[in-house]
Structure 1
Amino acid sequence: MSAFHETRLPLRLAFGGTSGIERRTEVVGLASGFERRSSPWAQGRRRYLIGTASRSLDEAAELVAFFEARRGRLHGFRFRDPADFKSCAPSAAPAPADQALGTGDGTRTLFQLVKRYGAGEEAVVRTIAKPQAGTVRVAVAGVEQAAGAFAVDVASGLVSLAA
């Protein structure tokens, strides 16, 4: 049985839920009065809460059926976070140069889709896997590439340039 189901939670069922990023931070008080802070997690974990209180009985039943088919948390599924599903701000239109994937060397043709939060050394870089087919736009040296000039593996998020 697969650990991931290639089905998307319908957006209308996800709408109205709450979300946030969870980070585990351990704070140890030192004898000197200072603190040592560390995180065992390299990335924040997204957490979503989709309630049934303001839904019709039919929608609540559909939501329960969706999660039962996933066996609760046993199987992952596609989910479009309404607040973080673009390479740009939620109110902007995505552009092919929104997120830098890497610097070419004339030989390298594979690049991982990523999204950066923040800038400089403080930026957090999140790997993007399972992008929605047909939605990725790519630029090389600031010039948008035509569909045949690259391919996207929708399972891994790897972008492969033809040249």
Structure 2
Amino acid sequence: VLNAEDADQWRGIADAADAARARGVAATFVWALPQVIRDGFVCFDQEDDVQAFDDVLFPIALGREAEVAPEVSTTIVTSAGGTEARNAEWAEARTHYDVGPGVRSEADIAALLGFFRARMGPAKGFRLRDPFDWEGVDEALGVGDGAAASFQLVRHYGGVARRITRPVSGTVRVALDGVETEAFSLGAGGVVTLDAAPDEGVEVSASFVFDVPVRFAEDRLTVSRATFLAGAAVSVPLVEVRE
């Protein structure tokens, strides 16, 4: 592009370079540095989008020995007189896990490393079966109003409700006023849709097995044969993903 007033020609040059690469040309070069600087021409390679979640289960044998640590976020203000004002900043807890204690053999290490690479570390989420909290029984989903037919699966902890977004297919059972029904479908995100909206006042409940959406907490995974043979557990932290 010899003249600055012809700067719109850069678009055609960029398109030609992209077309060449699409035909298998290993690399293309724009050989006009003074003009590139003058016109501010910039070309970015566009990478494929990363799928945020792989709907696969972390190896059961490794996850069974996971250490579990629920986390909440609370602001506490203490007055001069010693009284406190507390505010829960999150609607529900987020759980941290360490699946390192489940690594007991070289085969486990190989499975863990392969799983880590396939997920690109923390880039992709996956399912984890919580060894202590994996089932909901007769959980109240809501009360019919004659119009709404869809209800979110939830797990109750006293007065706190936890959204269940990764139920295990084939395990969900729905009941209307305690009577089980098969007239429903399970949608994405753990949403149950009944074939017909329940009448006003009808209690909707469900029982199910569920997994927790998690990701690796760190970009690096370090394991060694020496550590394993010495009887020391590796640390493999995971963190729950909000969906």
If the length of structure 2 is used for normalisation, what is the TM-score? 0.57
SS in 1 for 2:169: coil
Matches within 5 A, 1:21-100: 21-51=70-100, 54-88=103-137, 98-100=138-140
Paired amino acid for 1:72: G
Q: Contact 1:52–1:60 at 8 Å: present in 2 too?
A: no
Q: Which deviations, in whole Å up to 9, do the C-alpha atoms of 1:75-108 show, x marking residues without a partner?
A: 11011112111013xxxxxxxxx10100001221
Q: Which residue of 2 aligns with 1:130?
A: 166
Identity %: 44
CA distance in 1, matches of 2:116, 2:89: 29
In the alignment, does 2:141 pair up with 1:101? yes
> 1:111 Cα deviation (Å)?
0.5
Q: Which deviations, in whole Å up to 9, do the C-alpha atoms of 1:15-71 show, x marking residues without a partner?
A: 212112111222222123212222222210011101158511121121122122212
CA distance in 1, matches of 2:113, 2:68: 19
Paired amino acid for 1:83: F
Paired amino acid for 2:97: Y
Report the RMSD for the aligned CA atoms in angstroms: 1.5
Greater radius of gyration (CA): 2
Q: Contact 1:116–1:125 at 8 Å: present in 2 too?
A: yes
Q: Contact 1:110–1:160 at 8 Å: present in 2 too?
A: yes
Q: Which residue of 2 aligns with 1:140?
A: 176
Normalized per residue, the structure richer in helix is 2
Q: Contact 2:153–2:192 at 8 Å: present in 1 too?
A: yes
In the alignment, does 2:195 pair up with 1:162? yes
Structure 2 gaps of 5+ residues are 1-49, 197-243
If the length of structure 1 is used for normalisation, what is the TM-score? 0.84
CA distance in 1, matches of 2:87, 2:113: 38
Structure 1 gaps of 5+ residues are 89-97
Q: Which deviations, in whole Å up to 9, do the C-alpha atoms of 1:115-149 show, x marking residues without a partner?
A: 1001xxxx110011121111100001211002xx0
Paired amino acid for 1:158: V
Paired amino acid for 1:117: Y
CA distance in 2, matches of 1:34, 1:125: 29
**Greater relative contact order structure (CA < 8 Å, 6+ sep):** 2
User: Which stretches of structure 1, 4 residues or longer, exceed 6 Å deviation after superposition?
Assistant: none
Paired amino acid for 1:50: V
Q: Which residue of 1 aligns with 2:218?
A: none
CA distance in 1, matches of 2:189, 2:54: 14
